[in-house]
Amino acid sequence: MSHPLLDLPPLTAGHFASIERKVAALLRTGNDVVITQGEALLPLEGCIRSGARPGGAALNVVTGPYGQTFGDWLRDAGAEVVDLEVPFHAAAGAEDVARALAAHPEIDFVSLVHAEAATGNTNPVAEIGEVVRAHGALFMVDAVASVAAEPLEVDAWGVDLCVIGAQKAMGGPAGVSAVSVSERAWRRFAENPAAPRRSYLSLLDWKQRWIDTGRRALPHAPAQLEMLALEACLERIEESGLDAVLARHRAAAAATRAGATALGAPLEPFVHRDRDAAPVASTLRTLDGVAADDLVARALAIDPALPLVAGGGALAKEMVRVNHYGLDASLDVVLRTVRALGTALDVTDPTAALAAAEAAWTA
Ligand SMILES: *Cc1c(COP(=O)(O)O)cnc(C)c1O
């Protein structure tokens, strides 16, 4: 008996290369794209272990938990690490990065998370990229939570290494990711004797065996399901139009923040300024001793399909995350979220909050 998920023919080299080109188009880059079969942490770790080295120095901008992970890898790779810690309710500023680089001229690698789904903030990559380029460091951006949620211009912003995953705003599957690699980054990797080789983490292996041989023969059999799903979500974005997809995410964030504020309940946007709030997901802070994890459980009991989760670790008591990405970047999901949170917080009449959310969506 045949089955739609089984008995698939192997993916051809040409087909695989065409998916890479679609990713490159989405990222607005002429750089090489490597599709990695594994979660986004795979290329992120590969980039750091290839680009950072003993004797080197790195600036790690920390605006959430992923930045903390990068710092561990950078130290592990032997680099001197300067952590630029930014409060989770705000964003990094280009002037902070400029100051850190001026204080540490030896820095040759900068890692930055574009948007943090876990904390709900987004950082001005274009402005920071300008500062990093002027300094001359290699620039790595984790765009897992920003791709397809907000503008991402890899070449215009001078991003040497841009990592994405399909499972957030792209609306694709978890477990497949990609990275774009600039010429400069390839040179740095090649000059780094500590860069992984003959390893699942090795981007250089991919370059040698796939890119440098003209993308004619695949070094291994790609995971068909993941690749076909990645292709499908890229095509769906193309069909809707990227601008429309970005606009949906922007509207969902604005509407969630406006609706939560207008509930008049012990709840406020976690990220203070609208411009620092990530379009991919909105975080809300509970007040007056309301436990965020209890609130999430009560709201999910009312509407189990909502994309609600409490903050991770220490944030579980004070942060509600609304993961309005992919198909959940819709007015319906936002309104149901505001309604369920209102009911769970004993708001008797959510009419004004729903109207505020709808108005923000339309604006
Ligand atoms: C979700 C996310 C990741 C992790 O992606 P995985 O594919 O689960 O490894 C990394 N960085 C950011 C900013 C994310 O939002």
Which ligand 1 atom minimizes the distance to the CA of 39? Answer: 7
| pLDDT (average), residues 66-78 | 95
Which ligand 1 atom minimizes the distance to the CA of 143? Answer: 13
Q: What DSSP string describes 86-107? A: --TTS---HHHHHHHHHH-TT-
pLDDT tens string 115-126:
999 999 999 999
Query: Please, where in the chain does CATH 3.90.1150.10 lie?
Result: 242-362
pLDDT tens string 134-174:
999 999 999 999 999 999 999 999 999 999 999 999 999 99
For residue 222, the CA-to-ligand 1 centroid distance in Å is: 21
Cβ contact 265:289 at 8 Å: no
> Global pTM?
0.97
357 lines ligand 1 (CB under 6 A): no
pLDDT at 83 over 90: yes
pLDDT at 20 over 90: yes
pLDDT at 133 over 90: yes
Q: At 2, is the pLDDT very low, low, confident or very high (cuts 50, 70, 90)? A: confident
Select from 258, 345, 260 the least CA-distant residue to 295: 345
Pick the range with the lowest mean pLDDT from 1-15, 200-214, 279-293, 321-335. 1-15
% residues pLDDT > 90 (the chain): 97
142 lines ligand 1 (CB under 6 A): yes
Q: What is the DSSP letter of 277?
A: B
Residue to probe by mutation, ligand 1, list 41, 45, 61, 233, most atoms within 8 Å of CB = 41
- The CATH classification number of 242-362 equals 3.90.1150.10
Residue to probe by mutation, ligand 1, list 37, 42, 142, most atoms within 8 Å of CB = 142
Q: At 4, is the pLDDT very low, low, confident or very high (cuts 50, 70, 90)? A: confident
Q: At 194, is the pLDDT very low, low, confident or very high (cuts 50, 70, 90)? A: very high
Query: Please, where in the chain does CATH 3.40.640.10 lie?
Result: 13-239
State residue 87's pLDDT score: 93
pLDDT at 1 over 90: no
| pLDDT (average), residues 323-341 | 98
Q: With helix as H, strand as E and coil as C, how does 170-206 read? A: CCCCCCEEEEEECHHHHHHHHHCCCCCCCCCCCHHHH
- The CATH classification number of 13-239 equals 3.40.640.10
State residue 239's pLDDT score: 98
State residue 342's pLDDT score: 98
For residue 251, the CA-to-ligand 1 centroid distance in Å is: 22
pLDDT at 292 over 90: yes
